[in-house]
Copies of this chain bind each other. A is one copy, B any other.
């Protein structure tokens, strides 16, 4: 029931000046980035050019143990990855980072994003004799870099030239025997930031919350198109591809990122409080209490309460063990599955006119059940408010909003959705509103990708792109 939109990945990398426990740092950072990918994880440690890795399906804290840290050993560079698959089935062999052994030296790559021309590139390389082991984009990127590597004098130059052929969203952390390299695609679809530890180690991460978790200091975001190279001589950038207009996924603010992360200068929590305030401005209604759907709607609910003066309350208690395995009870029991995970606080909602806030409606099923929980608990009215516009277009840049069929807003009008979920009123934040989340001035800001709401894609996209684009012939 709590199946939501999914970000595909989180990446992390660290370059230490000496051989140290970089595996533990990566482990802690992935623990902080876990919300960006729960299907698989991987850590690669570089000890004087020898790459040791551990990859597995599952959550980092569930499948990674002390023994694994010890086996990864010491090193001075390490990269890590957590993954929710948008391309390629969840399988051990699709886990990242990928490690490539090559006569020119090994490299390891962790990737957050999605290429829109992966299929063409793959065919191109296969027709030249290449063999692919996985079904994910990262292997395509590895081939593109390797192709250049044979012609160029350095790994960073190879990446620079390979970027001419890569189209789409990619925030990369790449490790060679001597270097740690961070790359963000020219549109900057996905976030990527840089920081440093007290001892001078340099770190890269998808979100700043990962830096906080290891007591590193946030320095800055990687610019769209930038290549940052760290080695024993220090840090330098290649900015050849830094010319495009930025198109950061606005949904990072609305739902994907952790509230304590700061992306492009704006704290995610603040953006969500602001979303709640704008929602009230756009869709006011008389009510007694404002509550959020845990945990995705809580911040916007608080913002709406602040703007409206209607009291904020805790309307639902979420079972704190949700997220772990749950055995579906037998049909005989006929339990409402929602009750197992969420329970309304009757004294808070009974006899009240409730404004209920969440970040999005995908299929509508969960929303319908939550509204029904409120009605059963005695709510007199339920006014649903959603802190972003309706999804009506597929996303090609690294989320699982990949087809129109699953999107309720492609099937129904807003009044129909309102009736379907059983709410008294329903209001979505406007496109202008969602573009104003990072600004104090209420003016829509440039630099966002809002294609899922507007259909205006920052780069030209293919007519059709299957999720499992390389899986047509082979299962895992």
| A→B interface (CB under 8 Å) | 20-21, 24-25, 27-28, 31-32, 34-35, 47, 49-53, 59-62, 64-66, 69, 92-93, 98-106, 122-123, 125-133, 135, 139, 142-143, 146-147, 150, 177, 209, 212-215, 258-260, 262, 267, 269-270, 295, 298-299, 302, 306, 311-314, 317, 319-321, 323-327, 329-330, 332-336, 339-340, 343-348, 470, 473-476
Q: Is the interface of A mostly helix, strand, loop or mixed?
A: mixed
Instruction: Give 17 new A-B contacts, CB below 8 A, not counting A212-B339, A306-B311.
Output: A25-B329, A32-B343, A50-B474, A50-B475, A51-B474, A51-B475, A52-B476, A62-B325, A69-B327, A128-B150, A213-B335, A213-B339, A215-B336, A267-B346, A269-B347, A299-B314, A302-B314
- Bound-state CA distance A295–B320 (Å) is 10
What are 10 residue pairs bridging A and B, where the CB atoms are less than 8 Å apart in the complex?
A50-B474, A52-B475, A101-B470, A101-B473, A131-B139, A215-B335, A258-B343, A259-B317, A295-B320, A320-B323
Chain B residues, CB < 8 A from A212 = 339, 343
- Bound-state CA distance A314–B62 (Å) is 28
Copies in the assembly, this chain: 4
Q: Which residue of B lies closest to A151 (CB)?
A: B129
Chain B residues, CB < 8 A from A59 = 321, 324
Q: How far is the CB of A98 from chain B (nearest CB, A)?
A: 8
- Bound-state CA distance A61–B323 (Å) is 9
Given the interface contacts A209-B343, A314-B299, A324-B61, does A101 sit within 8 Å of B259 by beta carbon?
no
- Bound-state CA distance A20–B142 (Å) is 38
Q: How far is the CB of A61 from chain B (nearest CB, A)?
A: 4
Q: Which residue of B lies closest to A306 (CB)?
A: B311
Which of A101, A126, A215, A311 has its CB near the most chain B CB atoms (within 10 A)?
Answer: A101
- Bound-state CA distance A339–B59 (Å) is 19
- Bound-state CA distance A92–B91 (Å) is 13
CB pair B332–A21 under 8 Å, yes or no, is yes
CB pair B329–A213 under 8 Å, yes or no, is no
- Bound-state CA distance A106–B133 (Å) is 10
Chain B residues, CB < 8 A from A65 = 325, 327
- Bound-state CA distance A105–B35 (Å) is 37
CB pair B329–A27 under 8 Å, yes or no, is yes
The 9 closest A-B pairs by CB, nearest first: A61-B324, A260-B317, A103-B126, A24-B329, A267-B347, A52-B475, A260-B343, A50-B475, A21-B330
Chain B residues, CB < 8 A from A306 = 311
Chain B residues, CB < 8 A from A105 = 473
- Bound-state CA distance A260–B35 (Å) is 26
- Bound-state CA distance A185–B118 (Å) is 37
